[in-house]
Amino acid sequence: MKKSKLFWITLIVGLVALLAACGSGNGDETADTDNSNANEGEDSSDFSVAMVTDIGGVDDKSFNQSAWEGISAWGEEHGLSKGNGFDYAQSNAPEDYVPNITRMVREGYSLIYGIGFELKEDIQNLANQNPDVYFGIVDDVVEGDNTVSITFKEHEGSFLVGVAAAMKTETNKLGFVGGIDSPLINKFEAGFIAGAKSINPDIEVDVQYAEHFGDASKGKMIANDMYNSGVDIIYHAAGGTGNGVFNEAKDLKNADPERAIWVIGVDRDQHDEGQIGEHNVTLTSMVKRVDVAVQDVAQLAMDGEFPGGEQLEFGLEENAISVATTNEEAMTEEIINEVKKWEESILNGDIEIPYTREALEEYLDSL
């Protein structure tokens, strides 16, 4: 009997040890997981990337969409597919941020991006709670060895499209539609006004904020007011809200094809958004390569070179900011040459582009 009892005890202990060993191959979903991968590269079968959108949505035709295109390109390069190596979570309200990020953590994604400054606090908190997971924030700064902050010099590109707008306007009245009044969007505003007034100090710029990145109807209403007041070119930095600006411009162009009316797109080349019949209302776009930035960081992380704790800033010098020239009829050679001239001045350090309203005032006083 004693021998039999010992046999069963030994068998049970062995089975428990075997199950524990098998179970260790699965990722632990709690915040106390081991950080063994933090400084080691992983092959494509192990490494995965996800992003959480802000309320503009993954199809905002702006920077959320650009980020998703970058992640998709990275995934496809490594033979992965949506839901099997890379994915996104759609946020329809700020209350969705934490649940979406948490779900991506629980699903075991190696690197999770928060797209937009509105996710800063939630990315920071969840990064602190999950030191074994890499996190990235686009358009703001978070802290931690397992985080990276991706920012851009939007004021440089905004200055250049301001130059283009000043060269193109027939009324000397321009408009700027922002999403949420914030330090980030103020960079677009300050740069745009500085660029336009560098060409003509007497140009008027009507500035309005929708206080939302996903309200196309609000964008359309603001654009209607601006165009009816004599503005002929609107630059938007409003995510999905900017779709309403395009809609209003196309409606007005459709009603009066001879009317000079333009939109300047943002983040991606939004030329296609301005197409209406044989006309196109997109003058140009201020392109910032969110897609390239997130793709590059994903590759670094997979290669074991995650830039933890760093703020990466991309601008003209890094070829991450540019001015679209897709609309060849609207962007004349004269305008393009003027934009290039100012671009060289920025790259050479001859001028410092303002990125706050205070700096803008100082810049305008110097003209």
Residue 274 sits in the same domain as residue 195? yes
| One domain for residues 262 and 361 | yes
In a domain, 43, yes or no: no
**Are 93 and 218 found together in one domain?**
no
* 345 shares a domain with 203: yes
Query: Given this model, what pLDDT does residue 34 score?
Result: 39
Q: Does residue 85 belong to any structural domain of this protein?
A: yes
Cα–Cα separations (whole angstroms), residue 235 to 10, 64, 144, 262, 366 = 75, 18, 35, 9, 24
Number of domains in the chain: 2
Question: Does one domain contain both 298 and 179?
Answer: no
Whether 22 is in a domain gets the answer: no
What is the pLDDT, as a whole number, of residue 45?
59
Q: Which domain holds residue 135?
A: 49-152+291-314
Burial class (CB in 10 A: 0-12, 13-18, 19+), 9: exposed
- Residue 62 is predicted with a pLDDT of 85
Q: Look at residue 189 and tell me if it is in a domain.
A: yes
CATH code where residue 284 lies: 3.40.50.2300
In three state form, how does the secondary structure of the chain look?
CHHHHHHHHHHHHHHHHHHHHHHCCCCCCCCCCCCCCCCCCCCCCCCCEEEECCCCCCCCCCHHHHHHHHHHHHHHHCCCEECEEEEEECCCCHHHHHHHHHHHHHCCCCEEEEECHHHHHHHHHHHHHCCCCEEEEECCCCCCCCEEEEEECHHHHHHHHHHHHHHHCCCCEEEEEECCCCHHHHHHHHHHHHHHHHHCCCCEEEEEECCCCCCHHHHHHHHHHHHHCCCCEEEEECHHHHHHHHHHHHHHHHHCCCCCCEEEEEECCCHHHHEECCEECEEEEEEECHHHHHHHHHHHHHCCCCCCCEEEEECCCCCCEEECCCCCCCCCHHHHHHHHHHHHHHHCCCCCCCCCHHHHHHHHHHC
If one counts every other C-beta atom within 10 angstroms of the C-beta of residue 306, the result is 24
Q: What is the pLDDT along the chain (367 residues), one digit of tens a residue?
A: 434 433 333 433 343 343 344 443 333 333 343 333 443 444 555 899 999 999 988 998 888 999 999 999 999 999 999 999 999 999 999 999 999 999 999 999 999 999 999 999 999 999 999 999 999 999 999 999 999 999 999 999 999 999 999 999 999 999 999 999 999 999 999 999 999 999 999 999 999 999 999 899 999 999 999 999 999 999 999 999 999 999 999 999 999 999 999 999 999 999 999 999 999 999 999 999 999 999 999 999 999 999 999 999 999 999 999 999 999 999 999 999 999 999 999 999 999 999 999 999 999 999 9
Do 300 and 361 sit in the same domain of this protein? no
Same domain? 170 vs 120: no
Are residue 278 and residue 308 in the same domain, yes or no? no
Asked whether residue 361 falls in the same domain as residue 241, the answer is yes
Q: How many residues does the chain have?
A: 367
In a domain, 15, yes or no: no
- What pTM was estimated for this model as a whole? 0.83
Is 327 among the domain residues? no
Q: Is 352 within a domain?
A: yes
pLDDT at 265: 97
Whether residues 180 and 280 share a domain: the answer is yes
Q: Residue 8: inside a domain, yes or no?
A: no
User: 207 and 351: one domain?
Assistant: yes
Domain check: are 191 and 340 in the same one?
yes
- According to the model, what pLDDT value does residue 1 have? 41
